[in-house]
Chains A and B, each alone.
Chain A
Amino acid sequence: MKTIFQLLKPQLLLLSALIAALISSCKTDELKYEDEPGIYIDKEKFIGIRDSATFSFAEKTSTLLLDTIYIPVKISGRASAKDRPVPLKTDPLLTTASAGIHYEIPETKIMANQITARVPVIVKRAADLKTKQLRIYLKMETNAEFPFLIGNTKTNSTFSGEPSSIYTSGYLIKLNDQLLKPDTWDVSGSWFRFFFGTYSAVKYKFIMDVTGRMVWGPGARFGADSPTSAQMYAYYAKLQNAMYEYEKANGPMIDETGNQVTFPKI
């Protein structure tokens, strides 16, 4: 006597294969990350120039002796059930500021089940910053919790398939107590550039003298320290009037490069 399997062998085999294929398609394809964890400075969080920043105590109130610059960091790999120290250090070959005198970097941890943190870099208003600009070059090292050293990072791929930005692994803080050109004067969308035009030291001092404003924020536009649009138009009007009065009394204002200080027509 033939069994049902013998009778229906070709059809059954076909049916079984079909069912197996269907079932296999329902199976969750679980991704597994097996590489070592690493950590990097998350430069996507910065506005404007993302590999360095200038910090000037001259733009702050005269009583401010300490301030904090927060460096956003992010891990690659999985979150951990325990806290992990962030190995952000200074590069002694590229750093001219002195630890303890000009800056401190308190130990910071990636907290359990977190993938990001902000590392505080405490900067100090030392007397020598009045006459020189010092550098604090930060770099990420490895430690037992983050043994994988990450090099350059890049943004997600754009429509063309290419990343729009690639960032170096280090971060430079230029520290001074002088009125220097803001890093973000010329970045895309900067209101420094739109309202005030080309930078010169003479023009920048004139702007601060007339407006009374020392803190402008990135691009004079982004972040809590920045003026509003209405304020910028009012500053612009004030500067135009002040320049008119200055020129009536003194003739053209000449900057440190020998060019006349002017403001754009907006």
Chain B
Amino acid sequence: MKTAILSLLSIVFISVLLTGCAKDKGNYDLKPINEITITPLSTSENIEVFLDDTLRISPQITQEKVSAGNYTYRWYMFSDTYQPIIELSQNKDLKIAAKAPLGGYTLVYVVKDENTGITSTRQTQLNIISRFSSGIVLLEEKAQGGEISHVGLDGQIYRNLYSEANQGAFIAKPLGELQGLYYKAGEKLQKPIYIFLSAPGKNTVELDPLTYKQAGPFSNLLATPPSGPIQLSAIQGYWSGNSIFAIVNGKVQFGARDNEKPFFEGELIGDYEIAPFIITTSTGNGSTLAGMTSYIGYDQKNGRFLWYSAFSVGLLNTYSTDISDPGAFNPNNVKKKCVFACYSNEPGLYNWLMKDETGKMYIYQMAPVSTQKAGAAYAEIPASAEMNTASLFAGSTQLPQIYYVSGNKVLLYDYKSNTSKLVYTPPSGEQITDLKLSVSRIATYSTGYKIIRTTGKLYLATYNGTEGKLNEFDVSTTGSLDNPVKTYGGFGKILSMFYKEKI
């Protein structure tokens, strides 16, 4: 009896347990899903649209066994740089102006059947690009005032951009020159390029690099603007981090924060008047040196080089006076007028062209250290080079050479051999008005962290009294120039050029 009862209880217990394992065969009223099908949003892998252009997409929608569905639609996109979603439209077809910042986006289209709640999604890569991302920006003098034109690297010319972007206004004279900065931290906003209009006696203004609309005074970038007209003479970033330097009214403005936009905290301190050239240094491979300086400038007031290396505003430094390990010259005692400075073809050497009181020209090469060894090389430039009357300069980083314009001729100075040669004479009646080399300013691992790298093109602006021309040259492997490979005409007098690389 006892055994029977125990067996009975065991059976009941096991049966209860096994019910938990029973398969649910179901007995539901299932309906087939009527899938929504959307045709691809693009015939190619991605869509490219110019900034401000209208983007139109009309996808076809079909649904199984449904001829006139009740749908709602949603178009949105999100940036490749983790910005918030941008809602675009709730219409079936997309028709919007591409106004988001330049860059890559994922464009998403969602269709929802309101009767069943079924949704279907299509997406594609969308790139918003600018006609003005790369090319040569030209500041022209016209009868009405200053104007901006842009010549794309594909040769496409865009004229009258300033007046079109600024309600018909022209730039007031004097026009001065274009200044520009590649600001590394601006990559976060996909806006690393800054362009400024700078002229003596006038407040420098910023131009939107994508539209050439005036974007406000340069003083907006200064925590403590100096008194009087604020003139920007040079501006440059540093290869790593976000340090930035600008020459404003003869003083060095410094900023070091990881702001999305450049912002200068204040003037570097000291008794100086700085020449309008900025050298920010790098070893060319991302490493650092003992006692390395990150900025080199030339103090015209006291005829000496100055250096800086810090993360906040402080005293602009003079070089060590310890001459137990001397360099080629004493950086504290140069006593000449600086006429040009540029990066050399070696990452750790920087060229400074000086003129003495008698008109003799000299080249000084500086290394990025704070000792006497900073004075790396020094030479007097032969008078035959005709550099003492030169007005325009452009230094190559590919060859040990500096182009300059003297006597309306383009000459090429080789600082290894300390010789100069004529490389181009414009046609009779054409006056040279500006000279620039194509450059890349993006310092990354792949570019050896070099701050400026010339890239093999030389642009020469000329003026014949009625028409400005832009002459494009291919720089040969020896630095020589042949005839222009392209000439673009129909401009006013081109006073200044700024080379923009693609961003």
Contacts and interface: CB of A to CB of B under 8 A. Distances in A.
Interface of A: 4, 7-8, 229-230, 233-234, 236-238, 240-241, 244, 248, 265-266
Contacts of B315: 240, 244
A8 B267 contact: no
B310 interface: yes
B5 A237 contact: no
Contacts of A236: 265-266, 312-313
B259 interface: yes
B1 A265 contact: no
Contact of B257 (A8, A229, A238, A244): A229
Contacts of B259: 230
B313 A265 contact: no
B312 A266 contact: yes
Given A230-B257, A265-B314, A266-B312, A237 B267 contact: yes
Most B C-beta atoms less than 10 A away, residue of A4, A7, A241: A241
A240 B270 CA distance: 10
B166 interface: no
A8 B2 contact: yes
Contacts, number: 55
Contacts of B269: 240-241, 244
A244 B256 CA distance: 21
A4 B6 CA distance: 11
21 contacts: A4-B5, A7-B1, A7-B5, A8-B2, A8-B5, A233-B256, A233-B257, A233-B312, A233-B313, A234-B224, A236-B312, A237-B224, A237-B266, A237-B312, A238-B223, A238-B266, A241-B267, A241-B269, A248-B271, A265-B310, A266-B312
Interface residues of B, number: 22
Nearest to B313: A237
Contacts of B223: 230, 233-234, 237-238
A230 B224 contact: no
Nearest to A4: B5
Most B C-beta atoms less than 10 A away, residue of A233, A234, A237, A240: A237
**A-B CB proximity, top 3 nearest:** A237-B266, A234-B223, A237-B313
Nearest to B310: A265
Interface in B243-298: 254, 256-257, 259, 263, 265-267, 269-271
A229 B259 CA distance: 11
A160 B1 CA distance: 63
Q: Give the interface SS of chain A, mostly helix, strand, loop or mixed.
A: helix
B139 to A, nearest CB: 31
Contact of B313 (A7, A8, A241): A241
Contacts of B270: 244
B310 A240 contact: no
Given A8-B5, A234-B224, A240 B257 contact: no
Contacts of A4: 5
B317 to A, nearest CB: 12
Nearest to B223: A234
A80 to B, nearest CB: 44
B266 A234 contact: yes
Contact of B265 (A7, A8, A233, A248): A233
Contacts of A233: 223, 256-257, 265, 312-313
Interface string B310-326: 11111100000000000
Nearest to A244: B269
Contacts of A230: 223, 257, 259, 263, 265
Contacts of A265: 310, 314
A233 B223 CA distance: 9
B2 A7 contact: yes
B164 to A, nearest CB: 35
B312 to A, nearest CB: 5
Contacts of A237: 223-224, 254, 265-267, 312-313
Contacts of A266: 311-312
A7 B266 CA distance: 98
Contacts of A240: 266, 269, 313-315
Contacts of B254: 237
Contacts of B313: 233, 236-237, 240-241
A5 to B, nearest CB: 11
